[in-house]
């Protein structure tokens, strides 16, 4: 075993890691990043539908997997193994493959209990910080990481210290005007959706090329504001940041006082190595961050570092919601409308937050937290689309009927989509633990993930799906359908290491420092008590910048 030393050691390199590495290396501190995956750049992200994140840039199922427990529909639980929770095994993590929907949380998201009251069966709590504490860091993300958009007034617009985004909106699809017109007639407030994607060149990165290969694909231009493209490349350029790839961290060691002293990892050749640091930061995605802490017992932490009150792994949550589709038949449109709909490349970039708070007494007995509807086009995937058409009404198609169906799909209609995001309430039935039997290829217990959901989540999601379907119909779609879902999302997991002021009900303090330690921080999405009704990446970035300031202050006092 060899030992390396840094001022700060960061486990993981995604959205929670990038801001810490960026800020600390710029401040002159020696930063070491341990990333389990490889280091890929823009030249590796070519536009090929057979090169999505799931097969190339993720952990391999044969090497490590998660044991999943889900409701079986009969009041019990099913247990199976899955690799669905891997966000990205690569420098920059899952931020390489995000769609980049960048909505801020609202002030009410920080105080759900105070605003809406408790819900029976849910472990909802208010945050230990406020929106005002995080607002300057949202602004910093917009400027430093790169967020393109345009502010318009609407009923649930969050307070801002700046009038608009620092980068103009990405190029819009021609049918965005259809959406705006339909929404205005319905009395709704269509929003140009901000994206973590550059609309103009910035800081050595190119602007968006509008290839359509975005969500689930790495960005070949560097326009997508991934942790690597936006932050880590600059951190490494300072000469103060070193990224060690193919480093599988398996334990955090602690001293007699309970503080983190070093990190052990296996290198590419399977040899155990050690990194010592004054500050250790964990940012390897909620489930894996929990697994690492539980796998790190010590003299003061017999059940895993920070787990003296059994809070490590609790209060996991996913991004609840659903999806809907609208199919537009070209022969029902004017020639110009059909041509507009066929345009590929520009983003649709529209969202609705009119139901971020739902006050509908016909459905709910009091105002409740609602959610966001994002309207989008899926990335081009003709091979997958064609393959999905081979069955109709349970029968296998072949020959002329299959050819006709494929021709109709690609030349006679266009499918448009909306995604629903609402809170997944934390409960006692959604958490992470270590599996008692299964181990990964390095000999460490794999994570066991129980993913129960609260019935309230489904009620809100169904309500929002119906609203989205009405918008699709108003736009002129001939066929409309949608579904709410209770299954966990694969790439929008948060919680598990909730922050708070009481060690008996949280795993981290308000600065995201692990309770019972002085120098161990967690900066990925696992700190979040709830996910809000938006995708979490923007908030993870902002909080990581906030914690970076806390770490700088602590290092400066040593």
Q: Write the DSSP string, 40-74.
A: --GGG--S-TT--HHHHSS--TTT--EEEEEE-SS
Q: CATH number for the domain including 447? A: 3.50.50.60
H-state helical runs in 219-378: 227, 233-237, 286-294, 335-342
If one counts the domains in the chain, the total is: 1
Task: Average the pLDDT over 449-474 and give the result.
Answer: 95
The pLDDT mean for the chain works out to: 92
For residue 493, the SS3 value is: coil
Do 372 and 350 touch, CB atoms closer than 8 A? Answer: no
**What was the pLDDT predicted at 77?**
83
Rounded-to-integer distance, Cα 448 and Cα 430, Å: 11
Percent residues over pLDDT 70 in the chain = 98
Q: Give the model confidence (pLDDT) of 247-286 as tens digits.
A: 999 999 999 999 999 999 999 999 999 999 999 999 999 9
CA distance 127 to 508: 12
| Cβ atoms of residues 149 and 138 within 8 Å | no
What band does 480 get if pLDDT is binned at 50, 70 and 90? Answer: very high
Distance CA 327, CA 90 (A): 36
The torsion of the CA quartet 451, 455, 461, 464, rounded to 10 degrees, works out to: -170
Q: What is the largest CA-CA distance in the chain?
A: 75
Residue 148, SS3 per DSSP: strand
pLDDT band at 485 (very low <50, low <70, confident <90, very high): confident
Residue 226 makes CB contacts below 8 A (sequence gap 6+) with 92, 95, 96, 98, 218, 219
pTM comes to 0.95
pLDDT in tens, 188-242: 999 999 999 999 999 999 999 998 888 888 898 999 999 999 999 999 999 999 9
Q: How many CB atoms lie within 10 A of CB 370?
A: 26
Burial (CB < 10 A; 0-12, 13-18, 19+), residue 29, is buried
Whether the Cβ atoms of residue 141 and residue 542 lie closer than 8 Å to each other: yes
Q: Which domain holds residue 477?
A: 3-556
- For residue 322 the two structure tokens come to 């659903």
90 vs 37: CA distance, rounded Å: 4
491-500 pLDDT per residue, tens: 789 999 999 9
Sequential DSSP letters for 328-360: EEGGGS-HHHHHHHH--SSB--EEE-TTSEE--
Question: Could you report the per-residue pLDDT of 329-381, keeping only the tens digit for each?
Answer: 989 989 999 999 888 888 888 999 999 999 999 999 999 999 999 999 887 77
pLDDT of amino acid 189: 97
pLDDT at 1: 66
CB 50 within 8 A of CB 383: yes
Whether residue 149 contacts residue 194, with contact meaning beta carbons closer than 8 Å, is answered with: yes
Q: Is the pLDDT of residue 83 over 90?
A: no
Coil vs helix vs strand at 522:
strand
Higher local confidence (pLDDT), 307 or 83? 307
């Amino acid at each position: 075993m060899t030992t390396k030393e840094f001022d700060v050691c960061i486990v993981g390199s995604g959205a929670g890691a990038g801001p810490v590495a960026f800020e600390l290396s710029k401040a002159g501190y020696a930063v070491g990043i341990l990333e389990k995956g490889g280091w890929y750049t823009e030249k590796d992200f070519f536009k090929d539908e057979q090169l999505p994140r799931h097969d190339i840039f993720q952990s391999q199922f044969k090497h490590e997997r998660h044991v999943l427990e889900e409701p079986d529909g009969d009041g019990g639980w099913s247990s199976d193994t899955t690799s669905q929770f891997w966000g990205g095994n690569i420098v920059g993590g899952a931020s390489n493959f995000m769609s980049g929907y960048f909505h801020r949380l609202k002030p009410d998201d920080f105080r759900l209990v105070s605003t809406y009251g408790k819900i029976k069966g849910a472990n909802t709590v208010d945050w230990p910080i406020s929106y005002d504490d995080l607002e300057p860091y949202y602004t910093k993300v917009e400027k430093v990481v790169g967020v393109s958009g345009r502010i318009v007034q609407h009923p649930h617009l969050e307070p801002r210290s700046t009038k608009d985004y620092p980068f103009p909106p990405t190029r819009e699809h021609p049918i965005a005007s259809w959406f705006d017109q339909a929404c205005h007639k319905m009395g709704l407030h269509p929003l140009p959706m901000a994206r973590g994607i550059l609309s103009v060149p910035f800081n050595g990165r190119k602007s968006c090329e509008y290839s359509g290969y975005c969500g689930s694909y790495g960005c070949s231009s560097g326009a997508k504001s991934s942790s690597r493209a936006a932050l880590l490349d600059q951190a490494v350029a300072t000469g103060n940041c070193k990224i060690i790839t193919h480093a599988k961290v398996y334990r955090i060691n602690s001293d007699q006082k309970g503080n983190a002293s070093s990190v052990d990892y296996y290198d590419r050749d399977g040899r155990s190595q050690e990194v010592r640091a004054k500050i250790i930061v964990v940012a390897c995605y909620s489930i894996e961050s929990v697994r690492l802490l539980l796998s790190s017992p010590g003299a003061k932490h017999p059940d895993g570092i920070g787990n003296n009150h059994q809070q490590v792994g609790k209060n996991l949550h996913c991004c609840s919601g659903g999806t809907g589709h609208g199919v537009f038949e070209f022969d029902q449109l004017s020639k110009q409308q059909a041509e507009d709909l066929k345009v590929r490349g520009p983003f649709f970039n529209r969202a609705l937050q009119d139901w971020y708070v739902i006050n509908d007494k016909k459905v709910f007995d009091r105002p409740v937290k609602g959610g966001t509807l994002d309207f989008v086009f899926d990335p081009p995937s003709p091979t997958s689309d064609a393959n999905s058409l081979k069955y109709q009404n349970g029968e296998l198609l072949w020959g002329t009927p299959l050819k006709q169906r494929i021709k109709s799909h690609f030349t006679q209609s266009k499918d448009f989509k909306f995604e629903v995001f609402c809170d997944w309430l934390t409960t006692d039935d959604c958490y992470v633990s270590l599996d008692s039997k299964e181990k990964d290829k390095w000999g460490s217990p794999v994570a066991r993930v129980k993913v129960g959901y609260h019935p309230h989540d489904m009620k809100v999601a169904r309500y929002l799906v119906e609203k989205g379907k009405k918008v699709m119909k108003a736009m002129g779609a001939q066929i409309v359908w949608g579904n709410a879902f209770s299954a966990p999302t694969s790439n929008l997991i948060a919680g598990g290491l909730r922050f708070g002021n009481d060690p008996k009900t949280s795993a981290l303090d308000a600065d995201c420092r692990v309770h019972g330690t002085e120098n161990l921080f967690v900066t990925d999405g696992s700190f979040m008590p709830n996910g809000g009704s938006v995708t979490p990446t923007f908030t993870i970035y902002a909080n990581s910048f906030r914690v970076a300031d806390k770490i700088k202050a602590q290092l400066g006092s040593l």
